A and B are shown apart, each in its own frame.
Chain A
Amino acid sequence: MINVGKIKQYSNVLERPLSKGKQEVSLSAFAFLFSELVQYNQTQVDNITELERRLEDAGYAVGARILELLCHREKGNRRETRLLGILSFVHSTVWKVLFGKSKVLSLGGVGCMGTSRLRVGSCNVGSLMGKSIELVKILQKRKVSIALGGYLVVEVRSVNDRLMAIKLVVGGLTFNVVNAYAPHAGLDEEVKRHFWEDLDEVADSLEKGTEHEDEYMISEKELLVNRFISIPKDMGAFNCGAFVAGIVRGVLENAGFPAVVTAHFVPVEGQHRPRTTILIKFAEEVLRREATLG
């Protein structure tokens, strides 16, 4: 460390330069602190709903502050006025700063709307590593409106090796894309039957998902706050992710997008641990305003 001398003297907090967000503490320090936050709040409540609410409140206080700080520092004083803008702010900027990674690979600039024509292309790029700029160029040349990771990926479900369902939002419209890799003629009848059954199932489930246009999800295999936490069996569906849901709610609500945000465990087939989904349900006013803004 270069900073060997005494701690810098500032007469008060306003004199101190705004933090650059580069300073770090160990994950353990945070984990112990968070654990103690949960333990303290357990002593203050007599049921799980109440505990979740208190954790959410604590997160809310963090979210409300982080919004203003990050818009200033990371976004060059641009505010987010649109629904998708703020969502993308949450899962890219906020996630990246707070949890060290951005949630969804977003290439940006690909989703060109304004035309009624929608071109859907599919190309095999192998790995996206180091190829994103190249890919964007090709896509723009071919006028492909959606590419995987293109605009805002709301949900990705990998059903099996051959099936994947992606929920995309492009320019206010929700697209459900099912990417299917059909078995070739030479394969067993059994394999083919399985494939078609699974495809039917996927199609059915998407139907249900589109009923809630005001709901968005951020899925995370393991939330940072849950890294070391095992929920006892008698606590049911309790999820410490309520704290993160609170952060998200704090950011959204303070930016003018009130929403109900909840954290849920969602079992993943073939995995010991369920993943956590942060479910965001926007208030009616938000959608109404969004509609008038066009």
Chain B
Amino acid sequence: MAPVVPRSGDAIFANVERVNAELFTLTYGAIVRQLLTDLEEVDEVNKQLDQMGYNIGIRLIDEFLAKSNVSRCVDFKETAEVIAKVGLKMFLGITATVTNWDVEGTTCSLILEDNPLVDFVELPDTCQGLYYCNILSGVVRGALEMVSMKTEVTWLRDMLRGDDAFELQLKLLKQVPEEYPYKDDE
């Protein structure tokens, strides 16, 4: 009954229309720049980036489902793998390794193998507290929420802040049981 989940997004990425990563990177840079000017406080910028990511995530999930032919995952483990191998590949052309599972199987880390968002970027002294890629955590959180998984997504390691990798932690808070439509109706 369950269709085979694609193990990698390579084929999908090869078939979708693509654009120069520099346009993407610089556009994202322009967004961060705007936020820094508008909000001034680095913490506020982090929050706003996360919010913007969330807004993207709740829309992007449909595109992911429509184009990847992935259907419902059996467990959170599979979900994490699909994000790492199919989702990231399909949109950003990159993959990640899933590690650091806790015993309950509800917390894990994605270690990015590349990160097109940060090409060219170096944090100046004035923006030391900035989580430059915070949009990405928002995207994952938003996308998972739309398929009834409440999660908490945080950066554990960030190379822009001197760490040796980009590590994104996914923590499953609760799996919302499917009781719609009655729950959602007011």
Contacts and interface: CB of A to CB of B under 8 A. Distances in A.
> Are A and B in direct contact (Cβ within 8 Å)?
yes
B159 A24 contact: no
Interface stretch (A54-62, A161-169, A271-279): A54-62
B112 A7 contact: yes
A26 B55 contact: no
A40 B31 contact: yes
- What is the predominant secondary structure among interface residues of chain A facing chain B? helix
Nearest to A69: B22
B165 A7 contact: yes
A65 interface: yes
A120 interface: no
B92 A62 contact: no
Interface in A55-99: 57-59, 61-62, 65-66, 69, 97-99
B165 A33 contact: no
A6 to B, nearest CB: 7
Contacts of B17: 26-28
Contacts of B93: 23-26
Given A24-B18, A33-B31, A62-B27, 15 more contacts: A1-B95, A3-B114, A5-B113, A7-B166, A23-B116, A23-B119, A24-B19, A26-B13, A27-B17, A30-B23, A32-B63, A36-B52, A61-B29, A61-B30, A65-B29
Nearest to A20: B22
Interface in B94-110: 95
Contact of B27 (A7, A26, A37, A57): A37
B52 A7 contact: no
B59 interface: yes
Given A27-B18, A33-B31, A54-B34, A61 B95 contact: no
A33 B166 contact: no
A25 B119 contact: no
A65 B56 contact: no
B122 interface: yes
Interface in A6-54: 6-7, 9, 12-14, 16, 19, 21, 23-30, 32-37, 39-41, 44, 54
Interface string A91-115: 0000001111000000000000000
B172 interface: no
Contacts of A32: 56, 59-60, 63
B16 A27 contact: yes
A13 B118 CA distance: 9
A25 B19 CA distance: 6
